[in-house]
């Protein structure tokens, strides 16, 4: 263990704040700022060109199919979708009014459009979501309720408009939620997926339906709608290729596991000008859980999130905790997190597998209740037992996850409980993180457990805490950093045999070698 102190007695570092002029504010982002057209995507990896989908002019109004306010219109919507699909495509119109429905299943070349003033409320009865459909629940494949709006192996589908959708009302759908165990322990993974059936017969447990979940679809477009009162995760593309989500508003505060947008083992995704206010994580990247996720082995990759607003939520932008298929090539830029919990969040667990690679964050403004940059790779004993304990070290195997090659630039943290907090895995430390150009205001300063190769460069950090704490971490560099801390003194606490090469260059205060 090494413990040292250094004081503000060096020349000022050459810190520049010019980058702040290009950062968005809350007035620049979110659903209220969505432009009419999709601007070209510029990312540090190859992305396709995105455009709005084309549908024929053919329109079917569900009211013309017999839909009446106050009555269940499930069958009318189904007939309208089928007619549009058989006609070669077009729009199914939900007009202004208050409507009630069970599960909706979209088909190719159909745009489900909700007029402004349309309110679509979903049933809480299990029979309105049967038969079971192929889906993924928290990273494990099952046959269950699927989603309120579902599609399977369809192409060119859309959900658009200024209407509002409400999740399942109270009833068996919520009352029979599986609570016995975590999903990977509850579902027998040695049983074929088509036999993993959970549809709540005879009072048996079910998995809560997601709100919108296209599955194994291509060319998915979601724009303008508002989602309220979900039972579970809100917008969840699963195994999709070519997804645009823009101008959506999601409200699920107070709903456990009420994630906003979860990208699940999907690729070529654009999320822009959306506003999330959630009971769990806001923008989230996932790719399967543990052994079942490794069996499927499909990454989430090539995802751009831009001009978005995260409000209430556990994490503004989160990777994990289901990471078995890897999350690769994520670019988040020009976003604002306002009153969010953690800002930039990374979660995984020893038995989850996979991890995250090439994750890039630029031009982000954050006002947070918790930590600005948080890695939690061990989790809780409640969910993974003794594997959540840091020691003893385990042998690395296929279920050992890793996070690596993570880069952030041009960041303002207006408020946070802590600046950086890394909880890595001893046998799989977090590797290669850089943060360049940032202004940070936090209560706690810096903690790194089981990390390798971190560069903190060109920062001004104002903190109520003076401690930089390092455990079994190495090659951590602070360059051109101004610390404004109580008493003008910064303390370092180094622990663990693996801790080495923690360096400070042109920092104020400037330490002597510990």
Q: What is the pLDDT of residues 286-312, one digit of tens each?
A: 999 999 999 999 999 999 999 999 999
Confidence at 16, pLDDT banded by 50, 70, 90: confident
What are the structural domain ranges in the chain? 2-383+398-505
If DSSP codes are grouped into helix, strand and coil, which group holds residue 495?
Answer: strand
For residues 314 and 342, the answer to whether their CB atoms sit within 8 Å is yes
pLDDT value at 106 more than 80: yes
How many Cα neighbours within 13 Å face the side chain of 150? 24
Please state, in angstroms and rounded to a whole number, the distance separating the CA atoms of residues 466 and 473. Answer: 19
Q: Which of 16-20, 58-62, 368-372 has the lowest mean pLDDT?
A: 16-20
Q: Is 54 exposed, middle or buried (0-12, 13-18, 19+ CB in 10 A)?
A: exposed
481 vs 6, 14, 361, 434, CA distance in Å?
A: 14, 8, 20, 13
Q: Which residues contact 153 (CB under 8 A, 6 or more apart)?
A: 215, 216, 217
Who contacts 371 (Cβ-Cβ below 8 Å, separation ≥6)?
342, 343, 416, 417, 418, 419, 420, 421, 444
3-state SS assignment for residue 183: helix
Tokens of 126: 């299990």
The DSSP result for 326-351, as a single string, is: -EEEEEEEEEEEEEESEEEEEE--TT
What's the first-to-final CA gap in the chain, in angstroms?
Answer: 10
CA distances from 151 to 21, 134, 259, 349 (A): 43, 10, 20, 31
pLDDT above 60 for 40? yes
pLDDT tens profile 128-161: 999 999 999 999 999 999 999 999 999 999 999 9
Rounded mean pLDDT, 464-487: 96
11 confidence band (pLDDT: 50, 70, 90)? very low
**Looking at residues 267-283, what average pLDDT do you find?**
98
**Banded pLDDT at 1 (limits 50, 70, 90):** low
User: So what's the architecture of 2-383+398-505 in CATH?
Assistant: 3 Solenoid (2.160)
Tell how strand 59-61 and strand 474-484 pair up: unpaired
**pTM (two decimals):** 0.96
Task: State the Cα–Cα distance between residues 463 and 421, nearest whole angstrom.
Answer: 14
- Predicted confidence band of residue 18 (pLDDT cuts 50, 70, 90): confident
CB burial string 303-337: b at 16+ within 10 A, e below: bbbbbbbbbbbbbbbbbbbbbbbbbbbbbbbbbbb
- How large a percentage of the chain has pLDDT more than 90? 94
């Amino acid at each position: 263990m090494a413990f040292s102190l250094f004081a503000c007695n060096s020349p000022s570092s050459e810190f520049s704040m010019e980058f702040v002029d290009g950062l968005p504010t809350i007035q620049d982002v979110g659903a209220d700022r969505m432009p009419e057209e999709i601007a070209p995507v510029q990312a540090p990896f190859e992305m396709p060109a995105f455009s709005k989908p084309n549908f024929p002019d053919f329109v079917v109004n569900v009211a013309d199919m017999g839909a009446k306010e106050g009555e269940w219109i499930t069958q009318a919507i189904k007939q309208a979708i089928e007619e549009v699909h058989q006609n070669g495509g077009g729009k199914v119109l939900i007009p202004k009014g208050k409507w009630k429905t069970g599960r909706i299943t979209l088909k190719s070349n159909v745009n489900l459009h909700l007029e402004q003033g349309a309110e679509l409320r979903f049933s809480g009865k299990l029979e309105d979501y049967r038969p079971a459909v192929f889906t993924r629940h928290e990273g494990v494949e099952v046959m269950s309720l699927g989603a309120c709006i579902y599609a399977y192996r369809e192409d060119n589908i859309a959900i658009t408009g200024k209407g509002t959708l409400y999740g399942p009302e109270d009833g068996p759908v919520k009352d029979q939620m599986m609570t016995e165990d975590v999903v990977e322990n509850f579902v027998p993974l040695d049983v074929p997926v088509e036999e993993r059936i959970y549809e709540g017969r005879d009072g048996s447990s079910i998995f809560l339906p997601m709100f919108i979940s296209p599955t194994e679809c291509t060319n998915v477009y979601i724009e303008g709608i508002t989602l309220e009162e979900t039972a579970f995760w809100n917008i969840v593309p699963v195994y999709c290729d070519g997804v645009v989500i823009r101008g959506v508003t999601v409200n699920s505060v107070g709903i456990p596991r009420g994630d906003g947008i979860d990208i699940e083992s999907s690729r070529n995704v654009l999320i822009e000008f959306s506003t999330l206010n959630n009971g769990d994580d806001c923008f989230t990247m996932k790719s399967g859980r543990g052994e079942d996720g490794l069996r499927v082995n499909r990454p989430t990759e090539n995802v751009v999130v831009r001009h978005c607003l995260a409000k209430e939520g556990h994490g503004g932008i989160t990777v994990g905790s289901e990471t078995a298929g890897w999350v690769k090539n994520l670019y988040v830029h020009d976003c604002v997190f306002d009153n969010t919990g953690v800002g930039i969040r990374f979660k995984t667990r020893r038995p989850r597998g996979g991890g995250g690679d090439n994750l890039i964050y630029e031009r982000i403004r954050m006002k947070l209740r918790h930590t600005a940059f948080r890695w939690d790779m061990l989790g809780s004993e409640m969910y993974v037992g003794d594997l959540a304990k840091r020691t003893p070290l385990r042998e690395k195997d296929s279920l050992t996850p890793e996070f690596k090659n993570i880069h952030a630039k041009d960041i303002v943290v207006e408020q946070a409980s802590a600046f950086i907090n890394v909880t890595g895995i001893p046998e799989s430390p977090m590797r290669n993180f850089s943060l360049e150009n940032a202004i940070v205001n936090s209560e706690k300063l810096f903690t790194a457990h089981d990390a390798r190769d971190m560069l903190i460069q060109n920062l001004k950090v104002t903190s109520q805490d003076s401690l930089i704490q390092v455990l079994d971490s190495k090659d951590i560099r602070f360059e051109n950093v101004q610390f404004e801390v109580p008493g003008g003194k910064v303390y370092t606490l180094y622990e663990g045999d693996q801790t080495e090469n923690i360096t400070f260059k042109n920092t104020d205060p400037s330490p002597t070698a510990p």
